[in-house]
Structure 1
Amino acid sequence: MGRTLVVKVTAGAEAPERCAQAFTVAATAATAGVPTSLWLTGESTWFALPGRAAEFELPHSAPLPVLLASVLAGGQVTVCTQCAARRGIGEADLIEGVRIAGAAVFVEESMAEGAQALVY
């Protein structure tokens, strides 16, 4: 079994460079064939809703919808259960392929043999 990359982004539009960096790293890994899991927490949770990633802008950064699509094509995108609940977001609100899961799943993924977790 190869290494897995688990990326947790804790920032949204209020910290655009940190947010874009997390999406860029996750998309690059997924595109390179690395098993990748991107976790959206805090304000980044909003990017799991249709059209919301398109509202994000950061000069010299790849468009967030492109990065998100890259991760979805080659990996997994998860929204934090508590973060979704605090924002009134349910499974039916999410982009196809995005799931909602809690801390236990994050810990399981992060602690799996060969996993590398990064938090932005």
Structure 2
Amino acid sequence: MAKTVSALGIKAPNASILADNVVKHLDDPAETVVFLLSPGAEEGMEAVAGKHGYTLEITSAENHTEARMTPTGSTMEEIDVSGDFCPGPVITVGTILATLPVGERLKVTSTSADSIADIAAAVESSGSKVVKQGADGEKHYLIAEKAEKQESSQAVVARDRVLIAQSNGIGNAERAYATFLFAKAAQSMGKEVTVFLLMDGVSMARQGNAAVVKHPAFDRLDHLMDEVIRGGATVYACEMSAKFRGIGQADLVDGVRLAGAATYIQLLSDPANAVVNF
């Protein structure tokens, strides 16, 4: 875990004197330290890092400079998602970031620039940050740093929840899969997910139906649904649509419950919900 020390407002060389004392008295000499500095106060930091056997990385943020001192020889976790396709890389990276302590970093590489760009958007949306992004030969990469999610201070409502409406059912396998693949991707980004099945969409929740949907590139649909539900998603089946098809609560798979029009309209009316339709 990285230790963050604010030295904002302290000019050089006093900022480096402070850094020297902090590093000298660390309880764990293998700990990474990030100093938040006023612009221009990084003078002398390289000497401090070298003195204590640390590698220094200077980055500029919006209103300050960050001096990151990492013990020489320490490594960050790395993962190569080449060959994996959307939303697999986003889910994988989100899952790993969720396990990292705040301040730790993850390097992600791929032969696909589009995949790295998609991952970068997911990382930023989850509240963590991309500290570096680029290409090295045929491989594209980014370095993500786990950060604590900050409460929005803006007047606008932060859309931290995703509502996925599905009205096609198992008759359209692509849309059926997309419903729960997008849900899983949203969960990996730290979003609260609700899936509302209506019209033919309720057929997906009838016991046994999703088990017959299997694409060679994906797991069976019922397994994917179960993962999303166990991941904390709320899944509703439209009561009216279910009645049209002779489906009752007892016919639904575990984790799916009937809900009426008012529930759906309330979800649609909630400004915190980003709505996706399939």
Name the TM-score, length of structure 1 as normaliser. 0.87
User: What are the within-5 Å matches in structure 2 for residues 14-93 of structure 1?
Assistant: 14-73=171-230, 74-93=232-251
8 Å Cα contact 1:5/1:29 also seen in 2: yes
SS at match of 1:33: coil
Q: CA RMSD in A?
A: 1.8
Alpha-carbon separation, structure 2, partners of 1:44 and 1:58? 18
> What is the alpha-carbon distance in structure 1 between the residues aligned to residue 254 and residue 206 of structure 2?
9
Match in the other structure for 1:4: 161
Distance in 2 of aligned mates of 1:66 and 1:96: 12
Query: % of aligned pairs identical?
Result: 28
Structure 2: gaps spanning 5 or more residues? 1-157
2:268 corresponding residue in structure 1: 110
The match for 2:252 among 94, 99, 113 is 94
Where does the alignment leave 5 or more consecutive residues of structure 1 unmatched?
Answer: none
Q: Which amino acid is the alignment partner of residue 68 of structure 1?
A: M
Q: Distance in 1 between matches of 2:228 and 2:195?
A: 7
Deviations 1:5-37 (A, max 9, x none): 000111123221122111210122234431100
Count of equivalent residues? 120
Name the amino acid aligned to 1:88.
G
Maintained 8 Å contact 1:31/1:71: no
Higher strand share: 2
Task: Write out the 4+ residue segments of structure 1 that deviate beyond 6 Å after TM superposition.
Answer: none
**Superposition deviation, residue 77 in structure 1:** 0.6
d(CA) in 2 for partners of 1:58 and 1:45?
20
CA separation in 2, counterparts of 1:116 and 1:7? Answer: 8
Specify which structure has the higher proportion of helix: 1
Distance in 1 of aligned mates of 2:189 and 2:226: 14
